[in-house]
Structure 1
Amino acid sequence: MNSNELEYVFKIGMFDEIHDMIEEKKISLKDSILMLKHMGYCKVLKIARNVNFQDSFLYTRLEMMIIEEEKKNEGRNEKLLVGLCECNFLLNNAVSEGLISICVPLLLNVASNKEENKEAQKEVEMALLALSNIPGCQKIEKEFFINEIKEIIQNQQEYRNLTHLAYQSSWKFLIDRYFNYESWKEVIVNELHFVREESKELEELSKSVDWKRKEEERGKEVKEALVIWRWFFVIGYCFEWCTLCCMEWEELIYSIVDMFQAAKDNHKDICNGCLGSLRRA
């Protein structure tokens, strides 16, 4: 499904029906969390906006479960708590203030796992994708995330142990916080080298997409193309607010121009993303 189709399907009635199935034990909590995480993964990856999850009975149920599980002094199920937090962040268009202090440190702890096996990488990717869906206007106190997210980004720069989607999500989460902490501009550009890293990511992702294949021949959307599309939102922010200059900016401009040239015949959305970024630049 594309983003418009997801918005059409993901309605309050569907979430309330899932709530009733859990209530009536027609579906186990474990299976329902797996299903909701997959739904949220598709929703966030394809940037489907109008999902009214926060108005459903299911949202209220999951929020209460998170709070109750977190309060337990003994026997707390960390895996369950992580799954509930991921469902909440992935499906929501806004995040409850009360869940920030519970879920953000918990998901960052999952995302800090440096194991390189596929299962660990999948868990890290899901946690970072969930964090990346927190709106930029949502204030999060620095002590909840700054050291952890910087370490995740720097570790990736040294060891390249994250998936492309996980790395993009870590940057989106950090740069969305810029709205509340403008002083980070120099850290993002000169310490973490956002522009250099973005040029490198676009170049690597570009090699994974068959630019000559026409839309009607592609079938399912290629994940790498969806990650490229998500990068344009982050690039746009940086071009708008970052006045710091360095040679790396020139490399990024060339990367975007090269991608436009490759995509112009068969990938309209990516072409529009390139043009939008260049206008902002």
Structure 2
Amino acid sequence: MVVSTMRYRVASLAQITRYTNSMYAAVYTLVGTYLSGGATAALALRSWGAAAVVGLVVAYGFVINDYVDIQVDGYSKPHRPIPAGKIAREAALWLALALAGAALLLAASLGPALALFALCTTLLATIYSFALKGTVLWGNACMALLIASIPLYGGLAGGGISALVGIVAGLMWLFDFSHEILKTTADWRGDGRAGLRTVATAFGVRGAVRIFQAAGLLFIGVALLPWISGLIGASYLLALLPCAVLPTVAVIVMLARSTDDATITLALKIMRYMWISNLLPILLMS
């Protein structure tokens, strides 16, 4: 009985922290250190400490968001730990505070610049959950900024934010901005019942899809610029086409033909997998 209870609690904690997203964020942090200082920097203890900080901040962001979103999740995602009764709302708040505290303490040990950066991203994640999530485009832009800050943090830990790290951050902002807009098309029913104003509740699913398609095309164009300008070689292009360009085009075309729930679910799944496939062209930038 004790073992099964512990497993249940661990599973609930894993669900509310979205630990896989924290792992992805940690990897992208190390990518930032690699692009900034090479393999030596990426293998340094300081870089792994920075990756842990980012993972903790990301976990905090998910937990505090679930704490705030209890009403919305009750409508559209009742399986999540708080509305499902797996974790008490007060316990989730304490967990969020513990994650934020651990992140900031670890960041403080890495130096003032990384500590201040971590504090700013933690505050921004808090502002997003309490004030910006239920806004049209502003919340999407804020979340994209948080995602774009991940390689910047890694670059700072690796010795300095290089031009390549800045390019990657810009591309990640564009990609996640489009991704966040598309997410609103899956959540529009629950968001609408909870009174949130999002891209999908403001413009309808079809309107949100059109905005996503425009943002997706912009992402493709900007992603090609480093190769077009001669800044990065052909190996980047050869990886970019199958890993980022073609999947984005496929999603845009799919949604041009249909915007039903099944198509949107498939489109979001493809976009999630692209967080893995996008690593290859990014690494080939160096």
Query: Same fold, TM exceeding 0.5?
Result: no
Higher RCO (Cα < 8 Å, 6 or more apart): 2
Structure 1 length as normaliser, TM-score? Answer: 0.30
